[in-house]
Amino acid sequence: MIASGNRDEARYERPDVVDLERPNPRQHLTFSVGIGACVGSGLARLVLQEAVGQLVARLGGLRLDPAAGTPELGGSMFRQYSPLNVLFDAA
């Protein structure tokens, strides 16, 4: 299971923490590995970088909505927060 493998505490220190300073950020299973690896991973990375960058740049004060409670991870193949309720300041 990719979702489980990406959170293997024997491989990743504090696997459930979003740590942008990890020494091994490219060593994950999200796009699978080997002959069946995702052929769209380069495009996916590009789109995600652009989308997240634009979200953060355009939505000032982007933050979790405290009224929505703590977001929960779901999904068996891929782990995801759904929904992920956020607030931001009006421009």
Binding site for ligand HEM (CB under 6 A): 2, 30-32, 36, 38-40, 43-44
73 Cβ neighbours under 8 A, 6+ residues apart: 79, 80, 81
**Do 90 and 58 contact (CB within 8 A), yes or no?**
no
Q: How many residues does the chain have?
A: 91
Closest contact distance (angstroms) between CB of 16 and ligand HEM is 18
CB-nearest residue to ligand HEM: 40
Closest contact distance (angstroms) between CB of 32 and ligand HEM is 4
CB nearer ligand HEM, residue 2 or residue 64? 2
Closest contact distance (angstroms) between CB of 3 and ligand HEM is 10
CB nearer ligand HEM, residue 6 or residue 22? 6
**Which DSSP string do the residues of 8-50 spell out, in sequence order?**
-TTTSSSTTS--TT-S-TT--STT--GGG--TTHHHHHHHHHH
